[in-house]
Amino acid sequence: MLLVGVGWLALVLFLCSCSSIPPAQRVSPLGEEGAFPPRYSIVFIIHGDDGYLYHDVRGDAYRADEKTLAKAKTVAQRNPQAEVFIFHERRRRHFLLLFPRRDGKFYYYRHGRLLAEESYWRDQGDSRFDPEVELYHRYRAQGRPDLIKFFLYFGHEIPEFGGAGYDASYSKRTFTVDDLADGLKHITGDSTKLDLIVLSTCFNGTPHTIAALAPYGRYIIASPDNLHLSYFDLDSFEQLDVGLPDGDVSAFAKTFAGHAFDRLTEDMQTAVTVAVYDVDRVRGFLDAVESVYDQALTTLKGQTPATIEHFDCADDPAFIRPGMSEGVDVFYRPPRFGRWKHNQSHSGWECWRRREQPSVTSQPLEPIQK
């Protein structure tokens, strides 16, 4: 009798988990949320399908993705003139180890109110962001070409090649910067560029990443170096009517980056690097180093992560160009400890090279000073 009961329960759960009908929760119908169209559009993609545990200086533990999700919801609620899309890419879980549960969660806010909440499958479609792009186009406000548009991605370093294992739930599925660029291409469609792209990740301030995203954004904020999982602070996005009164995205990007930098340097002992890229103005440098950078990437493809490392492009004469710092505003503070604590600057551009074999035995290490 007990087995029959468990069997029925399992069947019901299985049918529910595989249902093609999305479990949408429309809080209020679109069109009834207010008469005036939104002025800002903000898209958050928060990757949570991997290890995102971190601790503050008191030793309290946090999940970076959950913390960011809560902050993104606050941004959504405090911007009455915005529409906000939040996609939370979660770890794939199974009920009773057998029945898969949806691994994406979508929230749509307009005028500060939650209008839709929906779970979805992340691995549906040929391209990585197909489900997100479909939801974006289903809900976005129509007929407002002068929207100021933001896109923010939070997660681990987005790989420039390879990319297998980015998702803990899908070890063979790959994710690279080109997949992100493809997603942005389908989000922007034929309309104007995004005004600001924010990559709250490690090591994505590279010539290849910025070049890949350049067709879809006017300004890009990224960290060329390590970035702690507490991420860029989102305070500047609360109340955009106050922070961005005249629509000057360039000034807003620098304010956001400066504020994020200040917040990170309060508690972090590791390096803090935030860079703002003016896409039109960095084009000359990107074109100049494209071939040498791509050649380096090609050489390193197939190497294991432990055998390659990042470095400031300015440390290699092959990447040094007269206009290297043109269009890049860099906020940098070296780590308080370690080999690089005497570094006083960063060019804002990160490159790749083969790592010298690690030695744990005898070779003396001279702290590096630039």
Partner 1 sequence: MLGRTAFRFIVIMFVMVYAGIALGQDGLQKYFNDASVKVKATTDPSQKREILNTSFEKMSKALGKVQSSPLVSRDDRAGIELFKATLQEKQDELAGLNGYQRVSDEQLDAFSDYVVQDMEQADQKITISLVAALLIIIIIILLVA
Contacting residues for 352 by C-beta, under 8 A, at least 6 apart: 160, 206, 296, 297, 300, 308, 309, 310, 311
> For partner 1, which is the closer residue by CB, 173 or 185?
173
Report the alpha-carbon distance of residue 232 to residue 70 in Å, rounded. Answer: 14
Site string for partner 1, 270-309 (x = CB under 8 A): x---------------------------------xxxx--
Which residues are CB-contacts of 139 (< 8 A; sequence separation ≥ 6)?
30, 83, 85, 108, 115, 116
When asked if residue 265 is in the footprint of partner 1 (CB under 8 A), the reply is no
Binding segment for partner 1 (CB under 8 A), chosen from 16-24, 81-89, 120-128, 331-339, is: 331-339
Does 344 participate in binding partner 1 (rule CB under 8 A)? Answer: no
**229 forms part of the interface with partner 1 (CB under 8 A):** yes
Positions in 119-178 near partner 1 (CB under 8 A): 155-157, 165, 168
How near is the Cβ of 52 to partner 1 at its closest, in Å? 8
The yes or no reply on residue 20 touching partner 1 (CB under 8 A) is no
- Cβ proximity to partner 1: between 20 and 171 the closer is 171
Q: How far, in Å, CA of 270 to CA of 369, rounded? A: 16
Residue 23's φ and ψ, nearest 5 degrees, are: -80, 65
* Residue closer to partner 1 (CB basis): 65 or 178: 65
Stretch of 13-21, 184-192, 266-274, 319-327 lying at the interface with partner 1 (CB under 8 A): 266-274
Separation of alpha carbons 332 and 310, rounded Å: 16
The region of 45-53, 77-85, 111-119, 125-133 touching partner 1 under the rule CB under 8 A is 45-53
Which single residue is written with the structure tokens 């860099």? 330
Q: How far is CA 56 from CA 89, 228, 249, 264, 303, in A?
A: 23, 11, 31, 11, 34
CA dihedral of 110, 114, 120, 123, whole degrees rounded to 10: 50
Candidates 190-198, 220-228, 246-254, 316-324; binding stretch for partner 1 (CB under 8 A):
220-228
Report in angstroms how near the CB of residue 177 gets to partner 1 at its nearest: 14
Q: Is 9 in the site for partner 1 (CB under 8 A)?
A: no
Strand 148-154 and strand 40-47: the pairing is parallel
Helical packing angle, 130-139 and 177-188, nearest 10°: 20
Pick the stretch among 57-65, 133-141, 241-249, 346-354 that binds partner 1 (CB under 8 A).
57-65
Closer residue to partner 1 in complex, CB, 20/304: 304
Q: Where are the alpha helices (DSSP H) in 56-114?
A: 64-77
The strand pairing partners of 333, in sequence order, are: 272
Rounded-to-integer distance, Cα 213 and Cα 177, Å: 8
Rounded distance between C-alpha atoms, residue 212 and residue 181, angstroms: 6
- Binding partner 1 (rule: CB under 8 A), the pick from 64, 84, 114, 187 is 64
Positions in the binding site for partner 1 (CB under 8 A) = 1-3, 6, 50-51, 53-55, 57, 59, 61, 64, 96-97, 155-157, 165, 168, 200-203, 226-229, 231, 267-270, 304-307, 335-339, 355, 358-360, 363-367
